[in-house]
Amino acid sequence: MKIAFRASPKPGAQGALKELSGRYGQTPAAEADFIVTIGGDGTALEALHEALTMPAKPVFAMRTDGSVGSFCNSFRTHDLTERLHAASRVQLPVLQAEIEQAGGRSQVLFAINEIVLNRQVFQQAKLKVAVDGEGIR
């Protein structure tokens, strides 16, 4: 089994990364069977964004001590391969925002959790929101 580990920059997560990659190896994400994150929800979301650019790739998130991780699993260094095989798979919906800026420049953004629009002082924003192609009023 090939695993790509991604860790928060916090010292505890970096120590865990060293231990886990020493035990299970470290594979580039594009070649891995699983991406395993070590940290909290922010680290997991970063890995999920990275995984959007690849063919379907499961991400298994583990929460380290002191990290906030409402959708992370508890951290353990042993039995990781068994946990990965036994984990329930959940498909997360991907949000898509088509942004058109003043002057006609447009871009498409993708998000897992939320899309936030910030308005500069004294500027207007005209928003149209649609879910599955249906406008919301």
**Closest CA relative to residue 24, chosen from 35, 10, 13:** 35
Predicted confidence (pLDDT) per residue in 12-43, tens digit:
999 999 999 999 999 999 999 999 999 988 89
Predicted confidence (pLDDT) per residue in 91-114, tens digit:
877 888 888 777 788 888 888 777
Q: Inform me whether the pLDDT recorded for 137 exceeds 70.
A: no
Four-CA torsion 110, 134, 107, 71, nearest 10 degrees? -10
- Is 132 an active-site residue? no
Which is the catalytic residue, given 33, 41, 65, 132?
Answer: 41
Predicted confidence (pLDDT) per residue in 48-98, tens digit:
888 888 888 899 999 887 666 677 888 888 899 999 999 988 887 788 888
